[in-house]
Structure 1
Amino acid sequence: MDTTQLFADLRARGIEIDDDSRRLSEYSFDASNYRIRPKAVVFPHTVEEVRSTLRAAQSYKIPVTTRGGGTSMAGNAVGHGLILDLSRRFTEVADIDIDDRSVWVGSGVVLGELRSVVERGTQGALTFAPDPSSLSRATIGGSIGNDACGNHSVAYGRMTQHVQEIEAITIDGAYLRLSPGGITAIDPKDTQSVARAEQLTAELRDLVQANLAALRVELQTIPRQVSGFHLGHLLPEEGFDVAAALAGSEGTIAVVTRALVKLVPRPPATALLCLGYASTIDSARDVMEILASKPTAIEGLDRSIVEIMRHRRGAESVDGLPRGEAFLMVEFSAETVESGREQCMRLLEAVTAQGRVTDAAVVTDSEARAKLWRVREDGAGLSSRRIDGKQTWPGWEDSAVAPERLADYLSELLPLVDKYQYSAFMYGHFGAGCIHMRLDYDLRSRQGRNDFEAFTREAAELVVAHGGSLSGEHGDGRARSELLSVMYSPEMIELFAAFKYAWDPENLLNPGIIVDPDAFTASLALAGTPKPGPTLGEVSVITETATMGLSIQSRTRLPLASPYVGNAHACIGVGRCRATSGGFMCPSYRATKDEKDSTRGRARVLQELTRANKNSLDGWSSPEVRDALDLCLSCKACSSDCPTGVDIAEAKSELIDEHYRGRIRPFTHYSIGWLPRWLPLIGHFSGIANAGARIGLLRRIADWLGVSARRRLPAFQSSRDIRRRLDEASFDSTGEILIFADSFTKAFRPDAIAAAARVLGDTGRTVGCTADACCGLTWISTGQREGARRRLARLIRKFDDGTNRDIVVLEPSCAAAIRDEGPKMVGGEAADRVAARVRSFSVAVDEAIQRGWRPSTTAPSAAVLQTHCHEHAVFGSGAQKRVLDAWGVPLVFESSSCCGVAGNFGFESEHFEMSMQVAEHSIVPALRQAPEGALVLTDGFSCTMQVSQIDPDLSGQHLALALDPARALAETPMEADE
């Protein structure tokens, strides 16, 4: 497949095409079990560029795979030739037609973003209904390709029911409109497209007329019959709806550029009934009774999903569930909350009479409902990794039967799972008879793949025996297309082929899927790869020897053979890092919208290191790896927001550590990376240091060395001022709480230390303080892991004092380092004990509030909240918000992503621009929306610096200073005078 001339032709036309090795690594995977390395990725700007690309590909006989969010679990977004990525630029949403309840939308628009636009544009009157779990990153084009639906399909159906017209381009460049009734050219003067539209219309009508019986008997037999082409929509009684027939074609027919989609009324109110059962099969037997009450959703999940949610998100994340081993979540839409509650109560009475329900909960509070829905939605994503760390995989994750046969199907499917000794995480759209399950296949070994093949063939026979479909919404892709002959007659298989070749006679659009399928055991990504082991590089082993009565610790560095970097292997392509709202991940992707800057893109590049048998030293030297990781802010949000817990910050730190060991490092590694080492010295010469920071020549020199001249630098506090601030409060060395005054708080805002002591003392507990330690955070972020390990080890020895008192760390990133990195980098029971005692300041205050304490200071009328990304990753982002709620702050403008500084990243010359782009995503809008005089809460010092960079007149404040009881005392006389 010689592509040299093709690429030259496309570039000559100004079409953006990328065949860089790093780019190909990013697009070799989707969210499935498959890996296929493409020849290049094309990012078209216009419809004409898509037409030119397709014509050129046809001319050179190069396959084309269209891709949106790349979240396919069936392998229909990877291919051998060109990848056509429409997610970056085909993102226009036209004006909403409120009367017709419809809107034209580009194929690259993300479903969740479309929903937000529609709800804002109609003042909440209308919405877009399809809501798959990938709502935050799946695109319109991809969702049409898979015929996606989601939780509310019992009320709203599949994407098929929401697509009214489609604008698409065939492999030969014809630009067509597909509608109920036929196919027309977009431009009536475009003779090629006019002729192609007429030809296709005639061929499809003839095809349907010659096969009426098969189409009526074999297709559209159950609600979720997604497998194969949806040719039933071409029947005369269906109005020859070519747009609906294209849904579910998985990019094998034409390239969708735009679609007219239907909008639906947004329910005024909803209520949720959650039912507990002794088994999943019991829950399935109640589905038909529940369907009769006409709910908008019936979602099922088993206890395995609940347990993984409890393990990864904490016990409070699932405390709203009733008792049971399996659960159904039934939602009703209504005019009022009360009428929704009544519908729930009537249904509860009816299903309780059946004798299978073990417990139930009726939930109408919006926050409580959202919390329960997160169990279903987040738990499904988290199920990609078992509690013991073993990964689970798709492959048989999307089968469907008629709802009335669901229980019987499960009663045979679950024993089949047991037969192959798999463990299953199961959930699904029970109201539509669709089952999602992830299984812990062994896809690395030959025997494991043989078992995978045997199980899948048996499962296919089983679902067909129950009148079901291989796929209920994810499509056939590479995972199931080979098995369509089990589900359909030879006549229907031939009919599918005739439909495909009418559109794409040379089989260039997404070949290997649906028609002339590849084997579902081909191109498996894990085939032959080693199992993940310890991280790359070397591990330090601590040994103790007794000499002259003294216990002496020594450290030995042992090489590791594993080719894996960090836990990048855990990425399975879910793509939540491509979401543009919700959670903190991934700030650089939100700024660039480039796959290379997503957690997934970075992980895929690192996974390719494994295949190339490169070690970490080679990896960091390679341009593709450095380019992939360059814009990683090391914010660690991926470690918590990614369903599989991929921690790119850790991988980056390890790679840099390996690469620079024994070498001269960049200046910033010694300046910013060693900053806690320099701070005591600078404190003695703070006046000189602060004056030097204002000298242009020195700033330009520093900029050349790597510290941005455009970044506002903090004012260093003098050693005398630091001591004076610490002396303002008296500390009890045996206090019930120990405050750790970290290097940054001491050097830049020591007033927060005394304030924190007063706040914690006001909660009724005695307070101690220590400042003589360092967590090594800046060494970690600059990849100086041995230096970090030594500092963490010293800190742990100091803090492991035999008590259980809380250790409150004022800088949240330092708190996160001790809690998260201590056990990983130092290890041992002492590290675990210390980690368990560590609290960020906001967490400590939140716990005091839960015990009944309330702040004595006057609450501000509004606040802007920027949670530090490390605090979000390790402690969660809810503590500060709960404190503000308890304090009585009526308006909170929350920044829901990284501020953009993230430690050393935002201070580096090469990253200043990206730092400010990241700020524009969240903290800048929050500051703009807030009224003048609002409290700007920035516990993280880097966040404080970013606020001052955005607006020099604004000052971010630590929560300790905002709650300081001394401020309340200062306010009292003023109030009396008034």
Structure 2
Amino acid sequence: MYSTDASNYRHVPIAVVTPRSNADVLATLEVCAQRGLPVLPRGAGTSIGGQAANTAVIIDFTRHLDRVLDLDPEHATARVQPGLVLDRLRAAAAPHGLTFGPDPSTHNRCTLGGMIGNNACGSHSVAWGKTADNVRSLEIALADGTVLEVGPTPVDELERLCARGDRTGTLYRGLAALVERDADRIRAAFPSLPRRVSGYNLDALLPENGWNLARALVGSEGTCATVLSATVGLVASPAARSMAVLGFPDNVSAAEAVPALLGLPVLTVEGIDGKLVAALRARRGAAAVDADLPPGGAWLYLETGADTVEQAQELARRVAAVAPDVGATATVVGDPSHRRALWRIREEGAGLATRLADGSEAWSGWEDAAVPPDRLGGYLRDFEKLMEDHGRRGAVYGHFGDGCLHVRIDFPFTATDARHRYRRFLEEAADLVVEHGGSLSGEHGDGQARAELLPKMFPPHIISAFGEFKSAFDPEGRMNPHRVVDPAPLDADLRPVVAPPVLPTRAQLALHADGGDFAAATRRCVGVGKCLAPSGGVMCPSYRATREEKHSTRGRARLLFEMLAGDVITDGWRSTEVKDALDLCLGCKGCKTDCPVGVDMAAYKAEFLSKHYRNRRRPMSHYGMGALPRWLRFGALAPRVVNAVTSSRLAPLLKRIGGVAAERDIPKLAERTFRSWWTRRGGARPGGDPVVLWPDTFTNYFDPGPGRDAVAVLEELGYEVHLPSRSVCCGLTWYSTGQLGTAREKLSRTLDVLEPWLERGVPVVGLEPSCTAMLRADAAELLPDDPRVPALAACTRTFAELVGDHAALRGRRPGGGRVLTQVHCHQHADLGFDADRAVLGSVAGEVDVLEGGCCGLAGNFGFERDHYEVSVACGEHELLPAVRAASADTAIHADGFSCRTQIRQLTDRDPVHLATLTARELGVSGT
């Protein structure tokens, strides 16, 4: 799981250590020193140059050494541990009107230690600079365990330190001699541009720069020392913000406009390529992407900040007014939600750009070169010509105001001559950026991707000085070796080249996004690590519960990649390591939407389980809960008897036999199923347009109330409601447990029943989000060649989608009270929630929507043995505390049966379905 970062490179580590204290770090360094082992201190592992992957002992600070040690608002500083996530520092500083200036797009999972290692910058660097500009001092440990505090060094202090007879004195004497000898060469060799990140910051040691050893170490990529803590500067955060968005015909036009914009009162000058917007549009539709973008093929985001909203808006209007002068169109975006949607395009660029709109793979490698901003237009024009000459494509975006461009390129890493073509492109790209007076890296560092090219940017004596600088700290060369100094070849260790799949990779599922190739699916994860975010969105609930890499979407994808490669994981589809990592995947599908590259771990898990258990005995839960619809058909014959038994002294035995967690109550069967109620009332009643109401397993056998209420609402609105003539099942429980053959059979029989309705285009209305998503999306993965599946997807509607546009609900003033609503994970991932918001707005006076994670039950997951604690922890992330805090007169709304069951079992509240809320508001009843 740690064999790569967000780069193209792969290095299997020797070991991974997760220290709980600085003493643990020093003990690790001591053991490594005794055994001569290399060491790599690592943050979130989102580095793109390959500096966070090495054949070394990795020290992962993210799990435990992640605190703000001290925050001093008066002096605007904070003391932090290296594993602290940036957003947690910003949250701690916010009450004081402060923030940490550098803000990479990975701000909700990148760590301060990682930012220091890479000299991270972010979108607001035109206002607040790089990490090096915001570090005050560092507490570091050398490879031999020597601990010292470094920072600005006055002349008298430098003399005192050089006079010491210990390891610290040796370090300072060596560095002082280097600077004294090469000061003029350093002044001459370092390009004067805002985003020079390549190489070591030797210029920070010049007398005129305060002989600042802390800033010299920023960006050293763990090659010199291990950061134990850091004191960083904070900046005043504007109380209000707005944004002007300028639209240009193309990227070059946007780049050429930058010099004229730099004098404006803005916090950002960020460039967005139309290819990124196209990629996002292809994945999520146009409505959420284009609403606030002016016409154009490329855009610049110019954010403004002030003390009040009015002042920020006025600044944004002043900025937008210059658009005609630079050949642009413009719009001002003041609404915070709209700004967040636009920033999402920019922040997810590293992921979106790895899958172009046509689905082809693109890679990092030449990721973040920077040139003087006034030369950006010419450089970009030449760079696009370089890509054309090499037959390559890529989406360009980035920090245009600082002359720094990001790009993912469709390098042919599966071709036989992949290494040669990759090397030739990078060498020519390096020549080009140097020709334009730039830096090979403008943000992500050199790593393995660019360190070999540093002699193109720096003269030989500076390259030698880099070696002396590292040697002063690390004379044995054990700190993250072969990065910056004595670099590894840039075309060695390429992950797709050195670890090709040795197992057959044709999937049983269609995996349309990857052409049915499971290997391509595992390559989809590029390590940007959004699944490591502690909050926001749905992905990844099990990681948030355990904080273990193997329970993140990224960790699971990496294990699947290694499984196919057969090098470290040698037992293929039978691997217990992979099975154990996937065991806590809830199948929530949050990653399908939240992951910038659309990793669909729920589908990958189903594929894995199908192969892992082929011709083998499965867990009892697969036979029990995995075949739940089958058993419920028998149970419904005598529901009172079943309920009596499952609540009797036999319940523990039944749970043990069925693989059910002992802590769980088995839900009671309804005394009358939804279908039997339907039959007793006489079936369909003549009305207007026909609709088919889907009698899912959970509504039919456990909770018929929403079904009855849905019938009442639909008939009140003039629809003629029908149920399928025979028993139907979408196959979800078999699908989620990897019993794909049975799932196909169930779905195919269901299509036989629905076919007459589908031929007429009659809507099929789902009440249970997971089953509805199965019909609309996952059916195509199971039966890609069945011509009825596209018709099924086209006809499938959610309850909200069908009733939301009806005149009786649209725009009405609700009389209902307050509602707290839980968005089902599959609504978030596959179905969308906009229609539900509209209906809720029509039936409730005030709606509070929870969108911060899964309920934790997730179908059979939360009922399975050994999953209870994680299931509860997922629910406690946001849902359960919010439910307990809701007032007694607040209705709790959840459309998923799992969500309602989790709430019922872990709180004293009884949640309701949207159909029930709507029925109450319309004054109808499904009794």
Which of 472, 490, 493 does residue 523 from structure 1 map onto? 493
Partner of 1:367: 337
Cα pair distance change 1:412/1:852, threshold 3 Å: farther
Residues in 2 aligned to 1:852 and 1:73: alpha-carbon distance in whole angstroms: 50
Task: Tell me by how many angstroms 1:218 deviates.
Answer: 2.1
Partner of 1:161: 133
Which of 250, 253, 260 does residue 221 from structure 2 map onto? 250
Partner of 2:167: 196
Residues in 2 aligned to 1:433 and 1:174: alpha-carbon distance in whole angstroms: 39
Task: Tell me by how many angstroms 1:61 deviates.
Answer: 1.2
Partner of 1:107: 82
Cα pair distance change 1:739/1:615, threshold 3 Å: farther
Partner of 1:573: 527
1:210 partner SS: helix
Partner of 1:181: 153
| 2:425 is the alignment partner of 1:455 | yes
Cα pair distance change 1:884/1:868, threshold 3 Å: same
Q: Deviations over 1:648-704 (max 9, x none)?
A: 222221222223333433221222111111222211211111111111333234225
Which of 8, 23, 26 does residue 33 from structure 1 map onto? 8
Which of 416, 432, 438 does residue 386 from structure 2 map onto? 416
Residues in 1 aligned to 2:342 and 2:821: alpha-carbon distance in whole angstroms: 25
Contact 1:38–1:83 (8 Å) recurs in 2: yes
Residues in 1 aligned to 2:268 and 2:698: alpha-carbon distance in whole angstroms: 50
Partner of 2:633: 680
Residues in 1 aligned to 2:223 and 2:921: alpha-carbon distance in whole angstroms: 69
Task: Tell me by how many angstroms 1:533 deviates.
Answer: 11
Which of 308, 311, 322 does residue 279 from structure 2 map onto? 308
Partner of 1:810: 767
Contact 2:673–2:701 (8 Å) recurs in 1: no
| 2:550 is the alignment partner of 1:582 | no
Partner of 1:832: 790
Partner of 1:975: none
Cα pair distance change 1:532/1:585, threshold 3 Å: farther
Task: Tell me by how many angstroms 1:888 deviates.
Answer: 4.8
| 2:471 is the alignment partner of 1:501 | yes
Q: Deviations over 1:159-194 (max 9, x none)?
A: 112111111111010111112127999xx9x99999
Cα pair distance change 1:818/1:969, threshold 3 Å: closer
Aligned length: 914
Cα pair distance change 1:613/1:469, threshold 3 Å: closer
| 2:909 is the alignment partner of 1:938 | no
Aligned partner letter, 1:619:
G
Cα pair distance change 1:539/1:842, threshold 3 Å: closer
Q: Structure 1: 5+ residue runs without aligned partners?
A: 1-25, 541-560, 971-978
Which of 622, 627, 651 does residue 580 from structure 2 map onto? 627
2:149 partner SS: strand
Contact 1:299–1:430 (8 Å) recurs in 2: yes
Partner of 2:745: 790
Structure-to-structure mapping, 1:661-700, within 5 angstroms: 661-700=614-653
Cα pair distance change 1:321/1:764, threshold 3 Å: farther
Aligned partner letter, 2:102:
P
Task: Tell me by how many angstroms 1:647 deviates.
Answer: 1.8
Cα pair distance change 1:112/1:724, threshold 3 Å: same
Which of 607, 626, 634 does residue 561 from structure 2 map onto? 607
Aligned partner letter, 1:588:
S
Residues in 2 aligned to 1:220 and 1:243: alpha-carbon distance in whole angstroms: 20
Q: Structure 2: 5+ residue runs without aligned partners?
A: none
2:608 partner SS: helix
Provide TM-score, normalisation by structure 2. 0.94
Q: Deviations over 1:918-952 (max 9, x none)?
A: 1121212222332233211111101111111211x
Cα pair distance change 1:465/1:454, threshold 3 Å: same
Aligned partner letter, 2:357:
I
Deviates more, 1:133-142 or 1:527-536: 527-536
Task: Tell me by how many angstroms 1:731 deviates.
Answer: 4.3
Task: Tell me by how many angstroms 1:963 deviates.
Answer: 1.6
2:656 partner SS: helix
Structure-to-structure mapping, 1:626-665, within 5 angstroms: 626-665=579-618
1:662 partner SS: coil
Which of 714, 725, 746 does residue 700 from structure 2 map onto? 746
Q: Deviations over 1:729-752 (max 9, x none)?
A: 854487343321211101111121
2:450 partner SS: helix
Residues in 1 aligned to 2:323 and 2:509: alpha-carbon distance in whole angstroms: 57
Cα pair distance change 1:806/1:854, threshold 3 Å: farther
Aligned partner letter, 2:810:
W
Cα pair distance change 1:864/1:207, threshold 3 Å: same
Contact 1:28–1:37 (8 Å) recurs in 2: yes
Partner of 1:333: 305
Aligned partner letter, 2:832:
G
Task: Tell me by how many angstroms 1:757 deviates.
Answer: 2.6
Cα pair distance change 1:701/1:742, threshold 3 Å: closer
Task: Tell me by how many angstroms 1:233 deviates.
Answer: 1.2
Residues in 2 aligned to 1:651 and 1:135: alpha-carbon distance in whole angstroms: 28
Residues in 1 aligned to 2:281 and 2:501: alpha-carbon distance in whole angstroms: 27
Residues in 1 aligned to 2:101 and 2:420: alpha-carbon distance in whole angstroms: 40
1:176 partner SS: strand
Cα pair distance change 1:682/1:697, threshold 3 Å: closer
Task: Tell me by how many angstroms 1:346 deviates.
Answer: 2.5
Residues in 1 aligned to 2:620 and 2:36: alpha-carbon distance in whole angstroms: 51
Aligned partner letter, 1:867:
V
Task: Tell me by how many angstroms 1:429 deviates.
Answer: 0.4
Residues in 2 aligned to 1:300 and 1:283: alpha-carbon distance in whole angstroms: 7
2:742 partner SS: helix
Residues in 1 aligned to 2:379 and 2:341: alpha-carbon distance in whole angstroms: 30
Provide TM-score, normalisation by structure 1. 0.89
Contact 2:590–2:828 (8 Å) recurs in 1: yes
Aligned partner letter, 1:832:
P
Partner of 1:351: 323
| 2:901 is the alignment partner of 1:950 | no
Task: Tell me by how many angstroms 1:240 deviates.
Answer: 1.2
Aligned partner letter, 2:780:
P
Aligned partner letter, 1:756:
A
Partner of 2:59: 84
Structure-to-structure mapping, 1:208-607, within 5 angstroms: 208-219=179-190, 221-319=192-290, 320-354=292-326, 356-357=327-328, 359-527=329-497, 536=506, 564=518, 567-607=521-561
1:446 partner SS: coil
Task: Tell me by how many angstroms 1:908 deviates.
Answer: 0.8
Cα pair distance change 1:966/1:920, threshold 3 Å: closer
Task: Tell me by how many angstroms 1:204 deviates.
Answer: 1.9
Cα pair distance change 1:969/1:883, threshold 3 Å: closer
Identity %: 40
Residues in 2 aligned to 1:708 and 1:409: alpha-carbon distance in whole angstroms: 61
Aligned partner letter, 1:931:
S
Task: Tell me by how many angstroms 1:270 deviates.
Answer: 1.3
Contact 1:176–1:193 (8 Å) recurs in 2: no
1:519 partner SS: coil
Task: Tell me by how many angstroms 1:882 deviates.
Answer: 4.4
Aligned partner letter, 1:625:
V
Contact 1:856–1:968 (8 Å) recurs in 2: no
Contact 2:63–2:83 (8 Å) recurs in 1: yes
2:271 partner SS: strand
Partner of 2:780: 823
Contact 1:182–1:201 (8 Å) recurs in 2: no
Structure-to-structure mapping, 1:795-944, within 5 angstroms: 795-800=750-755, 801=757, 802-827=759-784, 828-848=786-806, 853-854=810-811, 858-861=815-818, 863-890=819-846, 892=848, 894-944=850-900
Deviates more, 1:824-833 or 1:470-479: 824-833
Aligned partner letter, 1:158:
K
CA RMSD of aligned residues (A): 2.8
| 2:670 is the alignment partner of 1:717 | yes
